[in-house]
Chain A
Amino acid sequence: MAKPVKDKETQLREQQEAETRRRQYRTNQEETRKKLKHARFEESEPVEDTDGKAQVHLPRKRFYRQRAHSNPFSDHRLEYPRSPEDMKWEKLYPQYHDKDSDSMLSKVEIADIGCGYGGLLTKLAPEYPSTLILGMEIRVQVTQYVEDRIIALREKHKDDEVNFQNISVLRGNAMKFLPNFFQKGQLSKMFFCFPDPHFKQRKHKARIITNTLLSEYAYVLREGGVVYTITDVEDLHIWMAKHLEEHPMFERLDKAWEEQDKCVSIMYNATEEGQKVTRNKGSKWIACFRRLPTPEDCD
């Protein structure tokens, strides 16, 4: 504990200055984001870039940090489409939009729920080059970071084979509004990487895997689609596996399957959270489940 002791006022002042710097950085980034016509699905007119190209650098994470928790029950002012048909996907994946027919050439098939800083998205992009991949994140600043990261990657790799046009992110509450984005059976993979453990008993409904929410995931997943979960909290792993196992629409995939699946290894190594756990020499628990066919007597 060799840290020099600072008086409270100095501490407070430093904190405020740091926050001002972070805010300033994010404001500048927002300007860049707007200039680059990057996709947001509200109907704002893109700002035309008049004085040449905006400078694009990979964003710096430390300016976007936000506490790791968000209350999924609160009425955040979220933007979400009235229905999946109203979703303007072309704003998120402009290169997959066919202007002549005004339709998307592809639909989102992979969703990373609570995508955090987007590590998984960027690693999945080259693995599934012809599949649209979406990250959903509830924290505003973290979402902005991922947006800026994708802008920078697209710009940097615009002439490369892997150009990151197939990944995107949006701020959303997947627990409340997933069916507003995705049609029945639209997804083939859903990732739940290092979700908020919500340790307290009375907060358990806030967990991203509950028996009631699993029915909604089963709705947006197609038959044979896969739910991936990974966590460094053993209790949460047991909880998630238990609820998925109990749910009649899911069946567990075994160790052999996990070992041959490339997403499992990406998930294990790619996410920021996963790398942090590795650095801290923590354990990671994985459980994957296949979505079973809809019972014949159900619609």
Chain B
Amino acid sequence: MKHPFQLLLANSKGTHLFVSVKNHLQVYDLSNGNVVGSWSDTVDISVPSKKQEKKVASVEELKGDKKLKNNDAKPVAVAKTPVPIQGATPIYNYIRSLNLSKDEKYLVGTTDSDKAAVIFEVDLANSENCLKIIKRQIFPKRPCAVSIGDDSDLIVADKFGDVYATTIDSEPPVDEKALTPILGHVSMLSDVKFTRFNGKKFILTGDRDEHIRITNYPKAYVVKNWLFGHHEFVSTLHIPSYDPSLLISGGGDDYLCLWKWYDNKLLAKIELRDLIAPYLTEAHMPAERFLKPDSVKEISITKILTHSVDDKKILLVLCENTNCILTFEIAGDFSVKHLQTFVTKDSIIDICLEETSGRVFASIDREEGDLVELYDLGPDGQLSVASTNMGTKITEGNHCQVESRQNFYPLYYINTLRKRSEH
């Protein structure tokens, strides 16, 4: 059985598809379905790093010292070693995010294994392997989202709530202890977007509380404002390429927010509950320990995409662990109308859009058959299955074998951002 694809990313011309499976990256040539680039993260997380080994050793020493000096040795030193408790979420060696620079010359992935951003030069003319790693920058905490500015600024948001700015280049990486955050939330960050507006640069950040913050850049110590509209966590920020004054945000709420972000104006709330309800399953119920009499199936947003076709503005939405894509039309007055619920056979893990031709790629959670499906987005905003065998070809290029579903890496983890606290 093959492990499903976790992340998909097409370049703007639609000539190549970048994918991740577990700790592997691959690049597919979409003219013939051949693998033209690949990379595997070889950092072995089962082996403790030298740093950790050293830490353990020094604690042992400390313990010894303590005993010599003080007979009622309290376990002070022992408690300081962060040993994962039993039942702690295991760390997976996988790629959490994948981004192309604006000129598409660079690809940036983030790893959970060593908390790094891995920067590749993309040379499509190189017939052996179009991916060449140029830098692996380690961060103090696990990066969860990156955004690339147009001056090769690499903006990295982490699970500790901090945002770092570094550059895409082949200079040796900076020691992670020397990095200082340019901005921070006191909450886990879920997405970050670099954007330009009115000739100025801004960073938009979304967090596990319900905050979206707009910060000036590079003077990131000046907050422009917050956008208040969500009640639950924010997981996805999307700025349409056809109109950078807009922002569509989604997360753990039953709705998306459509903003004029610069004007701090909520234009519309796009309700999803009724549309997506038929496609929610028992898997969308809270875990048993969080179950309450009034618990309902929970919606979490995996992906928001937009496409402009013949003056029609189309919005595509993927809710986590569902087998459908919702499409909407955003009218000139910013009212939003549901167009279609496009249903496929199995749950969709990720989608991406190739904007030139309006082709949608979807990675599918299934044990047999095509792991990628291709759909065409028509001028009427309707999705239809594309007549191509590219999905089969891409699936053939996936050599990541696992014994059973139990060996799949977690495919659906966005809903874990939901807050459950009672105290």
| A residues whose Cβ falls under 8 Å from a Cβ of B | 72-77, 82-83, 86, 173, 175-177, 179-180, 184, 205, 210-216, 218-219, 247-249, 294-295, 297-299
Contacts and interface: CB of A to CB of B under 8 A. Distances in A.
Contacts of A248: 219, 221
B231 A211 contact: no
Contacts of A72: 186
For the complex of A and B, list the 10 residue pairs with the smallest distance between their C-beta atoms, beginning with the closest: A212-B184, A75-B421, A83-B228, A298-B222, A219-B223, A298-B216, A175-B186, A75-B419, A215-B221, A299-B224
A24 to B, nearest CB: 21
Contacts of A211: 180-181, 221
A210 B324 CA distance: 44
B309 interface: no
B231 A82 contact: yes
A24 B350 CA distance: 55
B200 interface: yes
A75 B213 CA distance: 19
B330 interface: no
A218 B215 CA distance: 12
Contacts of A177: 209
Contacts of A298: 200, 216, 219, 222, 224
Contacts of A86: 228
5 contacts: A77-B421, A211-B181, A215-B215, A297-B200, A299-B222
Nearest to B187: A176
A298 B220 CA distance: 9
B30 interface: no
Contacts of A205: 160, 186
B262 to A, nearest CB: 8
Contacts of A173: 186
A212 B222 contact: no
A299 B420 contact: no
B422 interface: yes
A215 B222 contact: yes
A213 B422 CA distance: 26
Contacts of A180: 228
Contact of B223 (A175, A210, A215): A215
Interface in B178-192: 180-181, 183-187
A246 to B, nearest CB: 10
Interface SS of B by simple majority: loop
Contacts of A215: 183, 215, 220-223
A82 B421 contact: no
B228 A213 contact: no
A212 B420 CA distance: 26
A297 B219 contact: yes
B30 to A, nearest CB: 41
A82 B228 contact: yes
A77 B180 contact: no
B354 to A, nearest CB: 34
Contacts of A295: 219, 222
Interface in B198-241: 200, 209, 211, 213, 215-216, 219-226, 228, 231
Given A76-B421, A77-B422, 7 more contacts: A180-B228, A205-B160, A212-B162, A212-B183, A215-B183, A248-B221, A299-B200
B423 interface: yes
Contacts of B421: 74-77
A176 B186 CA distance: 5
Given A215-B221, A248-B221, A294-B222, A76 B423 contact: yes
The residue in A175, A247, A299 that gathers the most chain B C-beta atoms within 10 A of its C-beta is A299
B50 to A, nearest CB: 20
B308 to A, nearest CB: 27
A177 B187 CA distance: 10
Contact of A77 (B184, B225, B423): B423
B220 to A, nearest CB: 7
A77 B421 CA distance: 6
A299 B180 CA distance: 23
A294 B219 CA distance: 10
A159 to B, nearest CB: 41
Nearest to B227: A83
Nearest to B419: A75
B208 to A, nearest CB: 9
A252 B228 CA distance: 33
Contacts of B181: 211-212
